[in-house]
Structure 1
Amino acid sequence: ARRGELVIVPEDMLSDVIEWQGPSLPGGSIADPLVIGRYDDGSPLMLWLPGDPDTGRNATHLLISGMTGSGKGDGALNVLTEIMSRKDVVVFLSDPKAFQDFRPLLPGITWAVEGGAPTEAMVQAIQAAIPARTRWLGAHSYRQWVPQAAEQQNDPVHSCQPDRACGCEGMPFLVGWMEEAANTLRYMGEDAFNGIAQEARAAGVSFVISLQRASYDQVSTTTRASIPSVLCFGVNGAGEAGFAMPDEVLAAGADPGVWKNRKPGYCYLCSTGIPDDRLPTPARTWRFTIRSISLMEAVAQWAARHGARPGLITDQAVTATVGRAYTERDQHTTDQPTPEEDDVTGEPLVDEEDTQIDPERDLDGSEAGDDIPIFGDSTGRKPGPEEARQLFAHALAEFEAAGQMVVGPKDFLDWCERHQLSRPWVSERLKEAAIEGRLEPTAKAGRWRIVPQLVDA
């Protein structure tokens, strides 16, 4: 029992910074390992997301954790660029930091939103897609997602028809990525990810949560217990390491609290498919620099042109849940041309009769009659009950058209002031709309999901 094992590393392979040179297996499958760095003996640092029925490896979710300056951002880029370079996977990304690190990758990401209500809608959409994807896998005799599920179903063994190959469209793997997840959890509540974390792996969905501190006051213990894999960078002391890493790995000698943010990129990877004796072994991810941007853009362009599409099953489930927020998602991203400039010619978008107007000149002073309404009733008139209900229905339609599919009383503050209506009145109308089927309650009290009106998929 006292006999131990001594591992000697003659040269620390982690001391030198190695810049990212591009994806390890462009055009490969998401079932192949994602190479995101190297161990201290120089061997590759590999991560798997889907399961493998042949080896008994389970599918996994991933937590990326580390303090500011620890290299967590580069670690996330390593994982995401590896994912995007594979042929049979799509990515839904939420980033409350306005894509500060991920902007070069946006063209290749299937659905990207910032924080707040758009992320609420994305979480609701992923939750709704899970049972639809699980049903599809079961109908085609898959006990879990495998690369064959992403291809057209021409094998009678994997058919939804009893006596022949069905020829159904395949269903790619799905990665739901929540960057700066602490921001989203503060907005939505600590239980926001519980359902996805517990149910998604069976549906060919991996959930990636990135946050600085994986403590109980940031993410619920239910969600944390359902995320078996962690990529942990330097943290602020042993106490925080205990929130992120398994006790047995810490007992074996792993200690990211020693690094803090003094050794950016140093990390431990605890995940399925990795031998137990590798779990407490230090590793380091590749470094991303300004020179990496053009290659990141190339990865995004490849994913946009040659990568997988979500597929009919996922598209239908998500569209039925959040409607235009998904079908018109390109119009709701922040990566669009500004309204003042044409996206092709670069010329100002100004009407011909307005070309002589100086936008810097102060407006003229008020004149007699300026306070007379141009049309309709004057401002400040409180609408009658039926008119108020019509205005409320119109407001819901406007939220839907803008892609905001989750609402609550606080979203109507300006609207209430404009129409002289109270928040309690709005709260009652929200409940009525839920009874009528226009809204559905979300996991967070006081927040409602707009049920989409019919839209083209």
Structure 2
Amino acid sequence: MARVTTTTNGKKQQVNTGTDIVPLTVGKGVVGQIVSHLAGKAVPYATPWVGAYTLPPLAGFATNQMWGDTALEAGLASGALGIGAVVLSAVTWQTAGGNNKFRKFRRVQATASVAASMGWLTCATAAGPFGHPMIDAWLLGGGVFAASWNIRQLMRNAHDETEQVEDKGGFAKIAEAIGLEKLKVKAAKGNGKGMVKVPVELAPGQTVEDVQAAMPKLTAAMHVPPSGATVKGDPDNAAQAEMSIRVADLLKDGVQFIPPIRLGMLPNDQIPLGLYADGDEFIINPFDAPILQHLLVMGVTGAGKSEFARGLLAHFMTRRKVSVMLIDCSKGRQSVGHIKHGLDVFISEPREAKQLLKALPGAIKARGNVLADEGLDQWEPKSKLNAVVLWVEEAADLADFDELDQIARAARSVGIWLVISLQRATWTNVSTDVRANLQAFACFGVDEASDAGFGMPDRVTDAGAIPAWGSDRPGYAFAGGMGIPEDRWTMEWRSGLTDREYLSALVTAGTPHRDPLDDTTANALGLVYANRQHRGTNRVNTDISELPPIARPRRELPEAGPVTELTTEQEEAMSVEIEDAYSEVMGMIPGDPEPDAPYAHLGLDDDMPEDADVEMQFQQREKLPTPEARQLLAEQIHQWVEGNQLTFAPAELSTVTVAAGRSMAWLQAELKRLVKEGYLRHDRYGEYDIVHSPLEPVPA
């Protein structure tokens, strides 16, 4: 197609003429130039005619002269040529492949031409090329052959290249290169933000799994990260799928923290936490989902879990009807110290953390009773109960699997959202039963691709959404559940970068909107909540963060006067001294003088055998009346409450039992009574948890 230069308004422009124009040269006749041009144009169209009317007769004459003398020779030669015709036709069909309509027609035309030529040659070998009807077939068939190829040349030259055809260009050419040539690739669409969507149609015998298995080759061929291409099948049509390819990373320079649109929203309002790779906001809404799905946050150190936690918790700290509890015994205040005033409960000591987790089943039961009275199957904002966010770092170090499983199964319907954050969710860190109840996920960078399978559904990792970049891309993750549409589970996103001073000011601004924990939950948690070391701010008490840390009351020693508040170093030194003294005292106690005696295996909780031969006589204390005996028991338990010792074994009450002149059977009966009345909790062998002091009435 020629281009002619024209001049318009003094400007030169090139115009496509649609035909090739040969410039006329000086010194040569015009007629001669036209004849030369026409001859040049005719040569490509003359080639099929020259070949059709010269090659067949020459080849037929040669084979007839070589093998046409006898019937035997002619028959054998014809058979060999027939086999050759089949082979050549098959080779032509295989090598002339293509997906667009022009190449499909070329395949049929080329194969038919080879088959017809070889068929004529086979017959001409035995019958001769110049006798009837062989010469007739040659003259007619050769003309049809040549004309068909001329028509193809004309159509090809006249074809408009702007017409949309199924040509193997762009992605289709790459698909063919990686072994997906049978894949029917439709028009790819870019969103202008670095993402390309490619609808594909699977060939017969292909599955989505076949395409997913080729994704590593595809990402390498397109020079994108391993997680930059994913494939999702159509749930309604197994023969259709969609590829998502990230050809540009718009998130590499970071994402700004997205603040709440206003203060005082409800827990079930949307929470923006970052951006997807295609530029859309990453939004979750756990309390508005049909089912409250507990969250598993996973990723190596430095992958961005803490940044994600700060952004998420800060949003909740600006809302009403929600209480946030955080357990972090590994980093303490390092991660959230600047926003801890928005936490209703903040625990950094393992003992306090274990006490809270042990008290949760009782709180879950109490909340369930209230929701039942309100006629609610699950928590809703209209309930008088607060929604509760319980974030636990490295939960496996603080509670056993059965305890976590019980909490995860029961907390969902009563509006307690459990979030467990850890580096690897292997079965040694969290049981499969617990993991099954953590139906939402936010998986940041992991070191091994196999680690992602511990925290993400198979259908997500199979699609290619595997964050196997370790800590190289902090903040990048895949997430699902929590109200996120399922078609976004395989889309990369990055959490917003937070500023410590800004978040602190934001949480402070949310103080007038934060509601205190509801009485039902607070009373059910009992002393674990009442004696908590950290007390955040809320609309009821907005000045508590300005006060110094609350010191636990200490007794006065007559010989030394009141004990002043100790520094951290002094407390650590005193703790070491107490442990040393304890070891020294215990070392002075002799061992069992009769380790093989029949009663050696008995504990303080066990009754003495009836046939035991006991020669020793104990001085029997005067038996106190029941009210006085119970008062002694209650005072001892209250003393433990004041010392924040909320767990004890029955053996520790032996001195009280002797002082009351009672037996161990009486003690066991009293402990059962206190459990029934709600002062104690007894959910494991050999230990009791103090819920409320027996000297105070149990809150309603």
- TM-score > 0.5, shorter chain as reference: yes
Q: Deviations over 1:317-341 (max 9, x none)?
A: 222xxx2x322435789x984799x
Q: Deviations over 1:210-258 (max 9, x none)?
A: 11111111112211111110111011212211111111110111111x2
> What pairs up with 1:125-144 in 2 under 5 angstroms?
125-144=359-378
Q: Deviations over 1:88-131 (max 9, x none)?
A: 21112212132321112221211222232211221133221212
> What pairs up with 1:341-360 in 2 under 5 angstroms?
none
Q: Return closer, same or farther for 1:10/1:316 CA change in 2, 3 Å cut-off.
A: same
Query: Is 1:263 the equivalent of 2:473?
Result: yes
1:177 to 391, 394, 401: 391
SS at match of 2:420: strand
2:674 to 431, 434, 437: 437
Question: 1 CA distance for matches of 2:621 and 2:282?
Answer: 64
Give me the identity figure in percent. 29
Query: Is 1:452 the equivalent of 2:689?
Result: no
Question: 2 CA distance for matches of 1:103 and 1:385?
Answer: 56
Q: Return closer, same or farther for 1:24/1:41 CA change in 2, 3 Å cut-off.
A: farther
Counterpart residue number, 1:100? 334
Question: 1 CA distance for matches of 2:313 and 2:535?
Answer: 22
Q: Return closer, same or farther for 1:46/1:135 CA change in 2, 3 Å cut-off.
A: same
Counterpart residue number, 2:156? none
Counterpart residue number, 1:79? 312
Question: 1 CA distance for matches of 2:340 and 2:276?
Answer: 30
Q: TM-score, normalised by structure 2?
A: 0.48
In 1, are the aligned partners of 2:267 and 2:287 still within 8 Å (CA)? Answer: yes
In 2, are the aligned partners of 1:231 and 1:267 still within 8 Å (CA)? Answer: yes
1:299 to 494, 506, 509: 506
In 2, are the aligned partners of 1:174 and 1:204 still within 8 Å (CA)? Answer: yes
Question: 1 CA distance for matches of 2:550 and 2:303?
Answer: 38
In 2, are the aligned partners of 1:94 and 1:113 still within 8 Å (CA)? Answer: yes
Bigger CA radius of gyration? 2
Q: Return closer, same or farther for 1:75/1:171 CA change in 2, 3 Å cut-off.
A: same
Q: Deviations over 1:26-49 (max 9, x none)?
A: 321210122111110111111122
Q: Return closer, same or farther for 1:337/1:221 CA change in 2, 3 Å cut-off.
A: same
- One-letter amino acid of the counterpart of residue 80, structure 1: L
In 2, are the aligned partners of 1:232 and 1:244 still within 8 Å (CA)? Answer: yes
In 2, are the aligned partners of 1:84 and 1:108 still within 8 Å (CA)? Answer: yes
> What pairs up with 1:356-395 in 2 under 5 angstroms?
none
Q: Shift of residue 8 of structure 1?
A: 4.5
1:317 to 508, 515, 524: 524
Q: Shift of residue 282 of structure 1?
A: 0.8
In 1, are the aligned partners of 2:255 and 2:275 still within 8 Å (CA)? Answer: no
> What pairs up with 1:48-447 in 2 under 5 angstroms?
48-52=285-289, 57-96=290-329, 97-149=331-383, 170-184=384-398, 188-256=399-467, 258-288=468-498, 292-319=499-526, 323=527, 325-330=528-533, 337=548, 396-407=637-648, 434-435=671-672, 437=674, 439-442=680-683, 446-447=686-687
Question: 1 CA distance for matches of 2:494 and 2:670?
Answer: 52
In 2, are the aligned partners of 1:25 and 1:86 still within 8 Å (CA)? Answer: no
Question: 2 CA distance for matches of 1:386 and 1:230?
Answer: 62
Question: 2 CA distance for matches of 1:386 and 1:121?
Answer: 36
- One-letter amino acid of the counterpart of residue 529, structure 2: Y
In 1, are the aligned partners of 2:274 and 2:282 still within 8 Å (CA)? Answer: yes
Query: Is 1:38 the equivalent of 2:271?
Result: no
Q: Return closer, same or farther for 1:25/1:196 CA change in 2, 3 Å cut-off.
A: farther
- One-letter amino acid of the counterpart of residue 405, structure 1: L
Question: 2 CA distance for matches of 1:283 and 1:295?
Answer: 23
- One-letter amino acid of the counterpart of residue 31, structure 1: N
SS at match of 2:435: helix
Q: Deviations over 1:124-158 (max 9, x none)?
A: 33221212222222222222222222xxxxxxxxx
Q: TM-score, normalised by structure 1?
A: 0.71
In 2, are the aligned partners of 1:266 and 1:284 still within 8 Å (CA)? Answer: yes
Relative contact order (C-alpha < 8 Å, sep 6+): which is higher? Answer: 1
SS at match of 2:286: coil
In 1, are the aligned partners of 2:446 and 2:470 still within 8 Å (CA)? Answer: yes
Question: 2 CA distance for matches of 1:329 and 1:209?
Answer: 21
**More displaced stretch, 296-305 vs 39-48:** 296-305
Question: 1 CA distance for matches of 2:510 and 2:669?
Answer: 44
**More displaced stretch, 9-18 vs 201-210:** 9-18
- Unaligned runs of at least 5 residues, structure 2: 1-200, 203-239, 537-544, 552-560, 565-587, 591-618, 623-628, 655-663
Q: Shift of residue 262 of structure 1?
A: 0.7
In 2, are the aligned partners of 1:64 and 1:232 still within 8 Å (CA)? Answer: yes
In 2, are the aligned partners of 1:117 and 1:405 still within 8 Å (CA)? Answer: no
Q: Return closer, same or farther for 1:437/1:254 CA change in 2, 3 Å cut-off.
A: same
Q: Shift of residue 196 of structure 1?
A: 1.3
Q: Shift of residue 274 of structure 1?
A: 2.0
- One-letter amino acid of the counterpart of residue 325, structure 2: F
Question: 2 CA distance for matches of 1:456 and 1:436?
Answer: 13
Q: Shift of residue 202 of structure 1?
A: 0.9
Q: Deviations over 1:412-444 (max 9, x none)?
A: 8xx99xxxxxxxxxx99997874463643345x
CA RMSD of aligned residues (A): 3.8
In 1, are the aligned partners of 2:256 and 2:274 still within 8 Å (CA)? Answer: no
- One-letter amino acid of the counterpart of residue 131, structure 1: K
SS at match of 2:402: coil
Question: 2 CA distance for matches of 1:140 and 1:233?
Answer: 39
In 2, are the aligned partners of 1:108 and 1:299 still within 8 Å (CA)? Answer: no
- One-letter amino acid of the counterpart of residue 126, structure 1: L
Question: 2 CA distance for matches of 1:8 and 1:260?
Answer: 21
Query: Is 1:20 the equivalent of 2:257?
Result: yes
Q: Deviations over 1:169-195 (max 9, x none)?
A: x222111221232331xxx32222111
In 2, are the aligned partners of 1:36 and 1:82 still within 8 Å (CA)? Answer: no
Q: Return closer, same or farther for 1:18/1:402 CA change in 2, 3 Å cut-off.
A: farther
Counterpart residue number, 2:185? none
Counterpart residue number, 1:419? none
SS at match of 1:255: coil
In 1, are the aligned partners of 2:263 and 2:510 still within 8 Å (CA)? Answer: no
Q: Shift of residue 272 of structure 1?
A: 4.0
